[in-house]
Amino acid sequence: MNPAGAPGRPGATPTRREFLASAAAAATAAGGAALAAGSPATNAADEDRPGFVDVNVNLGRWPLRRLPCDEPDRLADKLRSRGVVQAWGASLDGVLHKDIGAVNDRLAEDCRRHGGGLFLPFGSLDPKLPDWEKDLDRIAEVHRFRGIRLHPNYRGFRLDDPRLARALSLAAERRLIVQIALVMEDERMMHPLLRVEPVDPAPLAALVARIPGLRLVLVNALRTLRGESLRSLISAGNVSVEISMLEGVGGVAGLLEHVPADRILFGSHAPLYTFEAAELKLKESPLAEDPRHAISRGNAERLLDSLPAG
Amino acid sequence: MEIWDLHVHLSGVPGDTPEARLGKLLEYAGRLGISRLCLSMGMKWSEDPTPEEFRRSNDEMLRAVRAHPDRAFGFVYLNPKHAKASLDEMDRCVRDGPMVGIKLWVAQRCNAPELDPIIARAAALQAPVLQHTWIKITGNLPGESTPMDLAELAGRHPQAILVCGHTGGDWEVGIRAIRPHKNVYADLAGGDPAAGIAEMAVRELGAERVLYGSDAGGRSFASQLAKVFGAEIPEDAKRLILAGNLKRILGPILERKGVRL
């Protein structure tokens, strides 16, 4: 299984050498500066390891199975024990529930009450629901979330739906990071009454190119998005991917041959996936310190810090 | 903690020769502390191989393991549709050669009677049989086995050591299917690193019947190892799953071949 597909690289993004040079300069310039609001809080884990910003965490219950860490305190304990300094969390209720407003209210409350600031909530949105714009308003202005996570296949819309284009435009105007989950689990083992196709990302490149300011993070993407499709999407705009569904030996090193290091984020898909899977992928691949740090947390921090604090 | 990987292939790995590919696999495995690999199938796979094709595949595997005899063991790839040729190949590669197990993939469902002579011979040689299994809601291949098929086979061959490859993919069903048959082991390789698989396998089968495997190079060593490292199970159970059980299973055949651990 080659996760990254055929050789070649997008032309609109910096080379790895350029990235490493700029990352090193940025790190020097930022040294010692206090972390801005919304940036990862320092903790004991920072003392002896670089720490992770996990951009793909799920809060709540998966409807088909209890998971070892599906209580927020247990999940927080687990993530902290592995060195996670910030977790971008969306609600699993957002996969299926129709009352999205209540889903986001509970997410905000859970992230306030649990984890001691570890969780950065990403709201749910369904542009097929009537008056969905109000949900987006509340996400941005009431909850002051920093982003949203969409599950198009479970919510029943395609990426060429004009309502999605409008949702992405409005999210970009509100300076929200947009995450799109392409899958949630292996389609071969889905519950027979809960089968969905992976999201077809084909319309995304054109969509991204015409929405200024859009910051897009594809989660659970690298099972189905590879090769030229991945490269053209990455080069279409400010698009990043995370590694939770990256497979193959030396997968991260292989991905770096095709995707610039500044577009790769650390994501675990916990608690559906065992957190250690993503952590160990960084160990399996021989990586220089700069790209390792960038993937582990630097890229996510930069993406977040490019937005106004909530 | 010592780690042996039950389920590794030469596919999905850079390198033009079997030796080069195994060398690359060992490099990645070594970064995660995996000391031994059990390999099967060659550089180019056939779902329904002719005898000539599976012999060529096994020749490649022999080249690979002979280049790294201290780190790699081979499992002979067979096709039950060609029973006589498969038995001859077992003799060549296992009885008279360095291989230590049998690999069956998707040529024929494993509850078929054509498997009986192969399984009986494997039991006589004390060689474990790694049978690919999957339960796909999207539909299995015509010759693709399920854990339920393997359970049938296990009932006919209680002396054989049978390994349920991928624990059936749909592991919550696969574990239940093999549970009654004490001679069937669960192979954790090849599915997504879903949280809870090792916990359920240990709870329902006992840690002594659970084996770590990766299905590398198609899968990452890392994602599969995490199923054990990240599991909420006792450390003793992790030791058994990561190496202890496989060492116990392979002990007799390795001893006969003069392999000292």
Longest dimension (CA), chain B: 46
Please compute the mean of the pLDDT values over residues A180-195 and round it to a whole number: 96
Residue A229 has pLDDT above 70, yes or no: yes
Residue B36 has pLDDT above 60, yes or no: yes
CB pairs under 8 A between A and B: 119
Please report which confidence band the pLDDT of residue A16 belongs to, taking 50, 70 and 90 as the band edges: very low
Nearest CA in chain A to B139: A188
Determine the straight-line distance between the first and last CA of chain B, rounded to whole angstroms.
15
Please report which confidence band the pLDDT of residue A49 belongs to, taking 50, 70 and 90 as the band edges: low
Torsion region of A252: left, alpha or beta (phi above 0 gives left; psi -120 to 50 gives alpha) = alpha
CATH of domain A48-187+194-305: 3.20.20.140
CA of residue A105 relative to chain centroid, distance: 20
Q: Which long-range contacts (CB under 8 A, 24 or more apart) does A13-16 make?
A: A13/A234, A13/A235, A13/A260, A13/A262, A13/A263, A14/A260, A14/A262, A15/A260, A16/A256, A16/A260, A16/A261, A16/A291
Please report which confidence band the pLDDT of residue A31 belongs to, taking 50, 70 and 90 as the band edges: very low
- Residue A59 parent element (H or E): strand A52-59
The token pair at B127 is: 């060689």
Q: Which of A144, A100, A102 is nearest to A126 (CA)?
A: A100
Residue B235 has pLDDT above 80, yes or no: yes
What pLDDT is recorded for position A103? 98
Q: Crossing angle, helix B116-125 and helix B83-90, to 10 degrees? A: 10
Residues on chain B bordering chain A, Cβ-to-Cβ distance under 8 angstroms: 12-13, 24-25, 28, 31-32, 134-138, 169-170, 172, 191-196, 199, 216-223, 225-227, 229-232
Least CB-CB distance to A247: which of B137, B223, B226?
A: B223
- Domain ranges in chain A? 48-187+194-305
Within 10 Å of residue B229's Cβ, how many Cβ atoms?
21
The token pair at A55 is: 């951009």
Q: Which of A162, A58, A176 is nearest to A107 (CA)?
A: A58
pLDDT tens for each residue of A237-281: 999 999 999 999 999 999 999 999 999 999 999 999 999 999 999
For chain A, what is the mean pLDDT?
A: 87
Nearest CA in chain A to B21: A249
Residue B231 has pLDDT above 50, yes or no: yes
Nearest CA in chain A to B140: A188
What pLDDT is recorded for position A2? 32
What pLDDT is recorded for position A39? 42
pLDDT above 70 covers a percentage of chain A that reads: 83
Please report which confidence band the pLDDT of residue B261 belongs to, taking 50, 70 and 90 as the band edges: confident
Q: Which residue has the higher pLDDT, B228 or A5?
A: B228
Residue A43 has pLDDT above 70, yes or no: no
Residue A10 has pLDDT above 50, yes or no: no
Residues of A in contact with B219 (CB under 8 A): 1, 247-249
Task: Tell me the shortest Cα–Cα distance from A276 to chain B, in angstroms.
Answer: 5
Give the span between the Cα atoms of A223 and A243, in whole angstroms: 10
What pLDDT is recorded for position A26? 35
- Contact flag B220-A69 (C-beta cutoff 8 Å): no
Residue A15 has pLDDT above 60, yes or no: no
Least CB-CB distance to A67: which of B31, B195, B229?
A: B195
Q: Is the peptide bond before B217 cis (omega within 30 degrees of 0)?
A: yes
Torsion region of A220: left, alpha or beta (phi above 0 gives left; psi -120 to 50 gives alpha) = left
Count CA within 13 A, CB hemisphere, residue A219: 29
Within 10 Å of residue A25's Cβ, how many Cβ atoms?
10
**What residues contact B165, with CB distance under 8 A and at least 6 apart?**
B7, B130, B131, B132, B133, B187, B189, B190
Compute, in degrees rounded to 10, the torsion defined by CA atoms B152, B155, B160, B161. 60
Contact B194, B230 (CB under 8 A): no
Residue A3 has pLDDT above 60, yes or no: no
pLDDT tens for each residue of B53-96: 999 999 999 999 999 999 999 999 999 999 999 999 999 999 99
pLDDT tens for each residue of B106-120: 999 999 999 999 999
Please report which confidence band the pLDDT of residue A127 belongs to, taking 50, 70 and 90 as the band edges: very high
Residues of B in contact with A270 (CB under 8 A): 195
pLDDT above 90 covers a percentage of chain B that reads: 99
What pLDDT is recorded for position A307? 56
